[in-house]
Structure 1
Amino acid sequence: MPVLKPKKLYYGAEDVASILDYSKQHAYRVIKKLNAELEADGKFIRPGKVPIVYFKQRFGF
């Protein structure tokens, strides 16, 4: 039986920087802002990472 690789659920700073053509430092600020929005809605967050679904929703991808 083949081993399935789990689907990626979060973007890190390198992913965000690459997608938005930002520096890694700026990407961390974007992630922090998005996580603050999620936390204000009572959602669980992972520091330094942002859910891919939420990122795409906020940036219109």
Structure 2
Amino acid sequence: MSTQMIGAEEVAKALNTSKEYAYKVIRKLNEEMEEKGMLVVKGKVSADYFAGRYFGKDGGSDVR
């Protein structure tokens, strides 16, 4: 398992947004993951899930 957790700084850099907006993204993604029965870490998100939802890569591409 090579899943790594990323924080607001990494999300903001990847999306070219502010850290404040990145925290909103993290909260939304964590809500989605909780609905699927996954455990989450407040203020962090799975790098794989993030990449899947925003860039269509492995991890979240099967979500909605």
Q: TM-score range by the shorter chain?
A: 0.7 to 0.9
Aligned length: 55
| 2:27 match | 32
TM-score, normalised relative to structure 1: 0.84
Deviating 4+ runs (over 6 angstroms): none
Q: Quick check: 1:55 aligned with 2:50? A: yes
Structure 1 unpaired stretches of 5+: 1-6
Structure with higher Rg: it is 1
- Higher RCO structure, 1 or 2 (CA under 8 Å, sep 6+): 1
Go from structure 1 to structure 2 and tell me whether the alpha carbon gap of 1:23 and 1:15 turns closer, same or farther (over 3 Å shift): same
What is the rounded CA distance, in whole Å, between the counterparts of 2:22 and 2:3 in structure 1?
Answer: 18
State the alpha-carbon separation in 2 of the partners of residues 8 and 24 from structure 1.
Answer: 22
Structure 2's unaligned 5+ residue stretches are: 58-64
Tell me the TM-score normalized by structure 2. 0.80
- What is the identity percentage for the equivalent residue pairs of Structure 1 and Structure 2? 44
Cα RMSD for the two superposed structures:
1.4
